[in-house]
Amino acid sequence: MRPVFRMFCGFIFASTLLTLSVGTASAVAPAAPQMRGAYTSFSDDQAYAVANQHQTPQQKIDAAMAMAQTGKVKEALAKAEIAYRDARHDPRFVIHYIDKLTEMSKLEGKKWDKQLLNSAIKAANTLHKSKLCTGQGDAELSYHFMTSLGTLGEEVLGRNKRIASQLFSAQGKVAQNLRNNPGYPSQSLNVLGQPIMNLARAHAFNDDEVSALETIKEAFEIGYTNFEKTAMAPAFANIDQQQLKKTIRAHRTAYKRKLVRWSREELNRFGQFQINFDVADVNGGRISSKDLKGKVTVLDLWATWCAPCREGIPHFVKLDREYGSSKIEVIGISMDEPNDPTSAVDTVKNFGIDNGIDYKLAVGTNAIKSQIPGRVLLPTTLFVDHKGTVRYIASGYHDFMQLEALTEALAAEMNGAADKTASR
C-alpha cells in the first residue's frame, strides 16, 4: 500500500548549466503518474524572513505564482528570482522555487517557457553541486528533490530530450541511494519504483539497452507495478522487445501471486463493519445498500477535484468492464459536496461523461463518511461482501491489480458460499 507522504518539488542534475533549446523532441514515454511519498509538505518557515521585508521568500514565490496566473509571467519571474537571491542558501526554499517555476511553465501561453525552465535548471544545478540531496544523507530532503526531478524532467522532455534524460538519470540515482538509506521509511520503498523506471528511460534514451533492461528489473523488484505502461512506453521501443516482454511477464506473474496471498490475509485480518446508505445517483435514481445484498460491491469514495482520485478512475472503469455483472458492482460515490449532495449532481454526471466512466455514479453525504472508522481521506475504497459487510478499506491510490485481487477474493468467497448452499 502507498502511505500518505510529504509532497514537494525541486530539481537538479548536471554539474554545469544546460540551456534549453526550443525544438521538437522525438516521441518518448508518457508522463508518469504523480507519486505519493513518504513525507508531507514542508511547513512554512518564518525564519526565512528578510530584513525590512514583510514577506518571506517562500511567500514571495507564492505571490509570484499568483501573478503568473493573471498573465504577468515576466513580472512573476523577476519577483521569483529576487526571492531566490534572498534564500538560495536554503535547499528547502530552492526546491519550492523550482517547483513554482515549473508550474508557471505549464500555464497557457508559451512565451516565457524557456526562461522559466532555464531559471529552474540553473537553480537545480546549484543545488545538485551542493551534494545535499543525493539520497545518502537527509532522506526527507532527498525525497523531495527526487520527486521534483521527475516533475521537471517531464516538463522539459518535449523540448530537449537530452536534458530530460539527465534529470531522469539524477532522479533515479537519488532513488537508488534512498533505497539503502536507513533514514528512508521502509514501508515506502515502492514509491522509488517510478524514479528508478525513469532512470531506465534515461538509459534507453542514451541507447544503453543492457542498463535499461537491468534498471527496468530493478524498478519492478522495488515495487513499480505499471506493467502495461512499461510494455507500451515509446522510450523502450528500440530495446530487445522479446527480452522486455519476458521481464514484464515474469514480474507481473510474481506480483499477481503475491497479491493473491495479500488479499486473503487482509480480508481475514480486517475489522469488519456494516455500512448503510441510500444516495442519489446522477441519473435521477437511488442507490441503496439494501439493494446490493447478494453482490460483491466496490464503493469508491472520490471527488472530481481530487488528483489521486482521478488517477485511479481508469482502474475502476477497467474493473467494471472486466468483472461487472449481476454479482459484482462498481459504484463511484462522489464526495464533492457531502453537505449538499444534490448541488454536485450535474458536475459529477458531466465529469463521468467526459472521462468515459460507465459504472454507476452517485453523490454521497456525510452520513456515509461518519460510518467509516478513523480519518477518511480521498480516495477511499470500500470492499463490501455479498452479506453487506465492509471487509476492507483501501485508503489512497491503489493500482488495478490490487483492486482486482481484493475483488476476486471476495467473489471467490461468495461463490464458495453459494456452492455450499447448493450442495445441501
Q: What is the pLDDT of residues 1-59, one digit of tens each?
A: 333 222 223 333 333 334 333 333 332 233 333 345 565 555 444 444 434 356 889 89
Global pTM? 0.77
CATH of the domain at 181: 1.25.40
Distance CA 167, CA 62 (A): 24
Q: What is the 8-class DSSP label of residue 188?
A: G
Distance CA 40, CA 298 (A): 28
Q: Are residues 138 and 202 in the same domain?
A: yes
Those residues with Cβ within 8 angstroms of residue 281's Cβ, 6 or more apart along the chain or in another chain: 287, 360, 361, 362, 363
- Under the banding of pLDDT at 50, 70 and 90, the label for residue 417 is low
Q: Are residues 140 and 286 in the same domain?
A: no
Q: 317-337: per-residue pLDDT in tens? A: 999 999 998 899 999 999 999
Residue 251 covered by a domain = no
Q: Are residues 115 and 173 in the same domain?
A: yes
C-alpha cell at 411: 467473489
Three-state SS at 165: helix
Distance CA 199, CA 173 (A): 7
Q: Are residues 222 and 289 in the same domain?
A: no
Residue 111 covered by a domain = yes
* Block residue for cell numbers 531522469: 168
Q: Are residues 169 and 83 in the same domain?
A: yes
C-alpha cell at 96: 519550492
Residue 16 covered by a domain = no
Q: 50-107: per-residue pLDDT in tens? A: 343 568 898 999 999 999 999 999 999 999 999 999 999 999 999 999 899 999 999 8
Q: Are residues 149 and 287 in the same domain?
A: no
Three-state SS at 369: helix
C-alpha cell at 313: 478512475
pLDDT of residue 416: 83
Residue where a domain terminates, one of 195, 214, 239? 239
Range of weakest confidence among 109-118, 152-161, 287-296: 109-118
CATH of the domain at 362: 3.40.30.10
Residue 186 covered by a domain = yes
Cα–chain center distance at 333:
21
C-alpha cell at 97: 522555487
Q: Which helix (H) or strand (E) holds 276?
A: none
Residue 37 covered by a domain = no
Q: Are residues 99 and 165 in the same domain?
A: yes
Provide, for the chain, the percentages of residues in helix, strand and coil under a 3-state DSSP scheme, each rounded to the nearest 5: 55, 10, 35
Is the confidence at residue 230, as pLDDT, over 50?
yes
Q: Are residues 419 and 306 in the same domain?
A: yes
Those residues with Cβ within 8 angstroms of residue 289's Cβ, 6 or more apart along the chain or in another chain: 275, 276, 277, 278, 384, 388
* Number of independent structural domains in the chain: 2
Q: Are residues 221 and 288 in the same domain?
A: no
pLDDT of residue 41: 53
- Strand order, beta sheet including 296-302: 273-274, 389-395, 380-384, 296-302, 328-334, 360-363, 278-281, 286-288
Q: Are residues 59 and 179 in the same domain?
A: yes
Q: Are residues 97 and 213 in the same domain?
A: yes
The domain of 169 spans 46-227+234-239
